[in-house]
A = this chain, B = another copy of it.
C-alpha cells in the first residue's frame, strides 16, 4: 500500500491491469461492475517507470471521461505482473519490463492522483477479483490459476487471499510435476508451466506436424509452422482436427495432474481457471476432469468444483478494485 488512506466515503474505484503490452484502467463500482475503461500501451520496453506514467494517464482519462469527482473515488488498485514488495509499493522485478529495478510504483501514483494506491501481483489480483465478484464468490477456499504463457496462481485460504512472506504463495506454475521433464524458463525442469504452458502446447503441435501428421492446423497457420498458437490449435480442434485435439488432450492431462496437486495441497472448494488458454477449456475439460476424478484420491475430486473464470479479461481490473474495497472495511 502507499501512504494515503482510502476514502471510505467514495463510491467508485479505479482498477488497473498493467499488462506487458497494454494497460487498462477501469472505473469500477462497489459491486464490482466496470463502468468505463481507458487503455494505454504499457511501453514495457521503456521500463516500469514509463508504465507507471501510462497508468496515471489512463486513470486520469477514465475519471475525466465520466466526470467523476476525486471525492467520489475510494482509491486505485493495480494488478502488476512480477515480484513485488506490495506493502512498500515497490516492483522488484517483472520479466517483460525493461530494467532498471526495483521501481517505486505506488508513490508516484499517489502523488499524481491524490488517491490511496494499492498493488499486488497480477494473478493474485485476478484471484481476488474472482473471489469477491466472480467464480469464487461465496467460497472461503479457492484456488485460481491462469493458463497462458506461464501458469500463475492465487489462493484464498479461510476467506483471505494469502500472499506469503515473500509474496511467493501459490507460485503454482513452478511446482515440479515431472522432475526429468522439459526445462522451464525459471531454470528448473518439469515445472507445471513447462508442461502445460503456451510454449509446451505449441511445441507439442509442431512436433507432431514435423512427424508428418496431417492436420488442419497448417492451413489455419497459412503454411507457417511458426505461426501456430494455442488459439489456432483450439480452432482446429473445434473443427474436429485429430492432431489438434490430441495436443489439447495431452495438455489437459498435464493441466489435470497439476490440478490434482492443488486440490491435494490447498483443499479448495473451487478451482477457477482463467488466462489466455482458458478459452480452449471446453475442449480440454473431458480429459482434465477424468484425470482429476481418477487421481485426486486423498482429497477427493468431489470436494472441489473446477470452473472457468467468470470475469475473464476483466479479472485484473476488478481485482484491482477489490484491493481498495478490502481496505474500506
Which residues in A have some Cβ–Cβ distance to B below 8 Å? Answer: 140-141, 157-158, 160, 162-179, 186-189, 257, 260-261, 264-269, 294-295, 297-299, 303
Contact = CB atoms under 8 A, between A and B. Distances in A.
Contacts of A187: 297
Contacts of A257: 176, 179
B186 A298 contact: yes
A241 to B, nearest CB: 26
Closest 4 CB pairs of A and B: A164-B267, A168-B299, A168-B267, A174-B298
Contacts of A165: 140-141, 267, 269, 303
A149 to B, nearest CB: 14
Contacts of A171: 264-265, 267, 298-299
A297 B157 contact: no
Given A158-B160, A164-B141, A176 B261 contact: yes
B267 A176 contact: no
B177 A176 contact: yes
Q: Is the interface of A mostly helix, strand, loop or mixed?
A: loop
Nearest to A175: B261
A3 to B, nearest CB: 24
A90 B164 CA distance: 32
B269 A168 contact: no
A295 B168 contact: no
B162 A303 contact: no
Contacts of A264: 168, 171-172, 174-175
B168 A303 contact: yes
A258 to B, nearest CB: 9
A169 B297 contact: no
Given A141-B165, A158-B160, A297 B177 contact: no
